[in-house]
Amino acid sequence: MARPKTSVLARWMAASLWVAMAAPAWSAPAVQFTGVNLSGAEFNGGKLPGRPSFDYVYPNAQEIAYFTARGANVFRIPVLWERLQPALNAPLDRGELGRLSATVELIERHGGAVVIDIHNFGGYRGRPVGSSDTPYASFADLWSRIAAAFAGDDKVMFGLMNEPIAMTGPSLRTAIEAAIAGIRSTGSKSLILAPGVGWSGAHDFVPASSTALGDIRDPAHNMAYEAHQYLDADHSGTHWVCVDAKSAQDRLSAMTKWLRAHKQRGFLGEFGAADNPQCLESLDALLAYMRENSDVWLGWTYWAAGAWWGDYPMSVEPKNGADRGQMMVLKRSFIGGKNGSRPPEWWKFAHGTRSI
């Protein structure tokens, strides 16, 4: 749908009025990890390896400072497998690992945690994980090398595979189990985020993903299921019109019940809404739902931040130096929020010393 032809001032006045009048009073959120996707390092996957800061870009200190100043305490960093490991079963590329490591260091210096997200949709150079060209063992090799590179850093978490649409449920299960084994073989106890089947939608996690992945076991007992959920009608994150607030919450309800019944944890790795009053109301309702169900929802990262998004409807990059409407909602639910502090047990989730 085309963007409504309203002025920037009019949109901001409407958003400000809605936030001021419709939103409930702020209270300290119980969800442990709240932040954004700092996107850009995965851009231009058709250009491999690509030129850093030309074909793709990692976030800089100014961007990280902007979000941590508003209370974000975690950043999901999408990266491409092919850039990080140009040949299967080979050492990680020094230059790309250096750029990723520098980003991790910047984020940690600002007090944040990091989710390293392999943003490959279930394949390597177009060949699905589990095929003869991309064996499960190669996926495990990748993750054992990443885990070794960040050994001892409990602020780094591992997002195994973004939206594995190239894989079937049974294939994805085998890949997840192989990756877990590879990571734990290094001694790492960091949080692992296992993706759902296909687009990893929270709205259809039950039965698709729960049937295929429901009884996966992590020997370190520090795993969560990552889901994605956009608030437009077709769940795509591409439209300017959103479902209503109740429908937004309903999209998480079945997965929430499943997580609670099976004593599992969930992480909403991507979600987004456009900058208009209806979408902002639905976004606030989604965040409230996760706060109210924080016994199973471990955290979330909004999609998306990143300097190269332009007029993408879900972007939370500041515009002309001002917060977008989505940020006005998000910063009320960031862990830093208005009190600027984290819960005392915040890091216990990061290295598996607290369970639900």
177 φ/ψ sector (left φ>0, alpha ψ -120 to 50, else beta): alpha
Q: Give 180's DSSP letter.
A: H
Pairing of strands 266-272, 297-305: parallel
Strands (E), the chain: 33-38, 74-79, 113-118, 123-124, 127-128, 156-159, 192-195, 223-230, 266-272, 297-305
State the Cα–Cα distance between residues 134 and 171, nearest whole angstrom. Answer: 12
Buried b (16+ CB within 10 A) or exposed e, 291-329: bebeebbbbbbbbbbbeebeebbbbbbeeeeebbbbbbb
One-letter-per-residue 3-state SS of 97-110: HHHHHHHHHHHHHC
Residues known to be catalytic:
163, 270
CB 270 within 8 A of CB 232: no
For CA atoms 335, 337, 342, 343, give the dihedral sign: negative
Whether the Cβ atoms of residue 237 and residue 230 lie closer than 8 Å to each other: yes
Whole-angstrom distance, CA of residue 70 vs CA of residue 289? 21
- Whole-number Å distance between alpha carbons of 209 and 192: 16
